[in-house]
C-alpha cells in the first residue's frame, strides 16, 4: 500500500523499532532485532505479494533506494518479475559453481531453514499487525509447535508429511490453535516462495492436499470442555510457589488469580487503568469479553503487589515482556506448568475462585457472577439490574486475597 507522504532521510534515520516500515511508495525499511537495517521493495504479481531486497541501508541512502524502487516499478509495469529473475540468477550461479566444484554446491548456496524464514517473515510483517498480543501469539505458537519439528529443515524441503506431523496431534484436540498454525505456516512458505527459496505448491494451503487429509475444522463436532482448574484448596500453595519465583510472569499470574481476571485482561492492563488511591482497576469496554466497562476492586494485597512493580515511561503496561511491550499470551501458562504438571490452566483459576466463593462464603450468586464479569443470562433480571455490587465485590475479593495468602481470619 502506498504512503500518503514519503519519509525524509531524517525521519528514516530516526526509526529504531524492529519491523518493516513503509518509507515511500512500495519501498520499505526493515530493521531486525540486532539493529541491522535494509531496504525492501514490495510488489504484487497476479494478486500475490512479493518482496525483493535492495541492499543494506548503510550502503545505500534513501534517495538511492528510491531510485532503485522506481526502476523496478517501471520494469514490473513492462511485465518483469524481479523476485523470479533474482531466483533464476541465483540458480544459474549455483549451477556454475557446482560445475566448477565437480558437481558439488558450495556452502554459500544453502537454502535457509524454515525457522530462518519464519523469523524473517515476522520481522517483515509485525509492524503491520494490530497489537502486541497478535505478535506474541505468532512467535509463541511457532516456537511451541512448529520449530521443534521443521525449524532446522531447509525451507525448500518442507512437504505435506511435515505439515501433517505438526497438525495431526492437535487438529481435533486444539482445533483453533491448529487452524492458526496452519495459516502461519502457509504464509511463511508463501513468503519463501516469493523470495525464491522454494517453488511448487504450498503444502500448508487451505485448498491444497490438506483438505483431503484432515477433517474440516468447521464441521468437526467438538464437545465443550472446561478449562482445567487447580482445586481451590490448593490455590494458596500455588500462590506461595509463585511468590518464591518472583518473575514477571509469576507476579502477573498472582495478580490474575487475586482479581479473578482473564489472561487477556491482565496482559493488556496499563497504569492509566489503575487507581491506587481508590483501589480500583477500570478495564475499558474495548478490552472486555462482554463489551462493557468493568471495575475491579483491588484488595490490599493487590495494591501492595502493584506498588512493587517497576514502571517505564515508554511502556504503559503493568507486566512488560523481555522483548515486547507486554508478556506473551503463553507466559503465565508456562510459569504455571513449571510448578504443576496436571494440565491446569490460567483461566481455570476463575473456576477455583467461583467454587471457593460458593462453597466457603455466603455471598449471593449475583455478586460472584459480577466479580467474574459474567453476562447476566436472564434478560428480565438483567433489565432490572441497577448495580454492579462494587462494595460487596470489594469485600469478596478481599476475602479471596486473604485466603490465597493464607491470612484469612
Q: What are phi and psi of 243, to 5 degrees?
A: -60, -35
Q: Are 319 and 268 in contact (CB under 8 A)?
A: no
Residue whose C-alpha cell reads 474495548 in the numeric block:
286
**Between 3.40.228.10, 1.10.150.130, 1.10.3720.10, 3.90.226.10, what CATH number should domain 114-218 receive?**
1.10.150.130
* Percent of the residues in the chain that have a pLDDT greater than 70, as a whole number: 83
161-177 residue pLDDT tens: 999 999 998 888 888 88
- pLDDT bracket for residue 108 (50, 70, 90): very low
272-301 residue pLDDT tens: 999 999 999 999 888 887 778 889 999 999
Three-state SS sequence of 321-389: CCCCCCCCCCHHHHHHHCCCCCCCCCCHHHHHHHHHHHHHCCCCHHHHHHHCCCCCCCHHHHHHCCCCC
Phi/psi zone of residue 389: left (φ > 0), alpha (ψ -120 to 50 degrees), beta? left
Among 72-76, 209-213, 220-224, the range scoring the smallest mean pLDDT is 220-224
Task: Give the N- to C-terminal CA distance of the chain in Å, as an integer.
Answer: 62
Fold of 232-404: hpI Integrase; Chain A (1.10.443)
What was the pLDDT predicted at 98?
Answer: 57
Average pLDDT over residues 101-124: 72
16-46 residue pLDDT tens: 887 788 888 888 888 876 677 888 888 887 7
Round to whole Å and give the CA distance between 329 and 266: 10
What was the pLDDT predicted at 308?
Answer: 92
- pLDDT bracket for residue 1 (50, 70, 90): very low
Interhelix angle for 114-125 vs 132-141, to 10°? 180
What was the pLDDT predicted at 259?
Answer: 95
Average pLDDT over residues 59-79: 85
Round to whole Å and give the CA distance between 170 and 176: 9
Round to whole Å and give the CA distance between 94 and 99: 9
Pull the grid cell for residue 236.
494458596
- What's the CATH class of domain 9-104? alpha beta
Q: For the chain, give every domain's residue range.
A: 9-104, 114-218, 232-404
Nearest CA-CA partner of 167 in 136, 192, 201, 204:
204
pTM of the model: 0.48
Q: Are 317 and 326 in contact (CB under 8 A)?
A: yes
Amino acid at each position: 500500500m502506498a504512503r500518503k507522504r514519503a519519509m525524509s532521510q531524517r525521519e528514516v534515520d530516526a526509526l529504531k523499532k524492529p519491523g518493516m516500515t513503509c518509507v515511500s511508495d512500495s519501498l520499505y525499511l526493515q530493521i531486525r532485532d540486532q539493529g541491522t537495517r535494509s531496504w525492501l521493495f514490495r510488489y504484487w504479481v497476479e494478486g500475490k505479494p512479493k518482496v525483493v531486497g535492495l541492499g543494506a541501508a548503510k550502503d545505500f541512502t534513501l534517495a538511492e533506494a528510491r531510485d532503485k524502487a522506481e526502476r523496478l516499478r517501471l520494469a514490473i509495469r513492462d511485465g518483469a518479475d524481479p523476485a523470479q529473475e533474482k531466483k533464476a540468477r541465483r540458480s544459474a550461479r549455483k549451477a556454475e559453481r557446482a560445475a566448477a566444484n565437480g558437481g558439488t554446491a558450495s556452502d554459500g548456496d544453502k537454502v535457509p531453514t524454515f525457522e530462518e524464514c519464519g523469523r524473517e517473515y515476522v520481522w517483515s510483517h509485525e509492524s503491520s499487525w494490530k497489537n502486541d498480543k497478535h505478535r506474541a501469539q505468532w512467535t509463541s505458537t511457532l516456537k511451541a509447535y512448529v520449530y521443534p519439528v521443521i525449524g532446522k529443515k531447509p525451507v525448500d524441503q518442507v512437504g505435506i508429511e511435515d505439515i501433517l506431523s505438526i497438525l495431526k496431534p492437535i487438529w481435533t484436540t486444539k482445533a483453533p490453535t491448529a487452524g492458526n498454525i496452519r495459516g502461519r505456516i502457509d504464509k511463511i512458505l508463501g513468503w519463501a516462495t516469493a523470495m525464491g527459496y522454494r517453488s511448487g505448491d504450498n503444502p500448508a494451503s487451505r485448498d491444497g492436499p490438506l483438505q483431503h487429509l484432515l477433517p474440516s475444522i468447521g464441521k468437526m463436532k467438538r464437545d465443550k470442555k472446561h478449562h482445567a482448574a487447580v482445586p481451590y484448596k490448593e490455590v494458596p500453595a500455588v500462590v506461595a510457589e509463585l511468590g518464591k519465583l518472583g518473575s514477571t510472569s509469576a507476579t502477573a499470574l498472582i495478580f490474575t488469580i487475586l482479581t479473578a481476571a482473564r489472561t487477556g485482561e491482565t496482559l493488556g492492563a496499563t497504569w492509566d487503568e489503575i487507581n491506587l488511591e481508590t483501589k480500583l482497576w477500570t478495564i475499558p469496554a474495548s478490552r472486555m469479553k462482554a463489551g462493557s466497562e468493568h471495575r475491579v476492586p483491588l484488595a490490599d494485597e493487590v495494591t501492595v503487589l502493584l506498588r512493587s512493580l517497576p514502571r517505564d515511561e515508554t511502556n504503559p503496561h503493568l507486566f512488560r515482556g523481555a522483548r515486547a511491550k507486554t508478556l506473551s499470551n503463553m507466559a503465565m501458562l508456562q510459569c504455571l506448568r513449571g510448578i504443576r504438571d496436571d494440565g491446569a490452566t490460567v483461566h481455570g483459576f476463575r473456576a477455583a475462585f467461583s467454587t471457593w466463593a460458593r462453597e466457603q462464603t455466603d455471598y449471593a450468586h449475583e455478586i460472584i457472577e459480577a466479580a467474574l464479569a459474567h453476562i447476566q443470562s436472564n434478560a428480565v433480571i438483567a433489565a432490572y439490574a441497577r448495580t454492579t455490587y462494587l462494595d460487596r465485590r470489594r469485600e469478596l475479593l478481599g476475602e479471596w486475597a486473604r485466603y490465597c495468602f493464607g491470612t484469612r481470619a
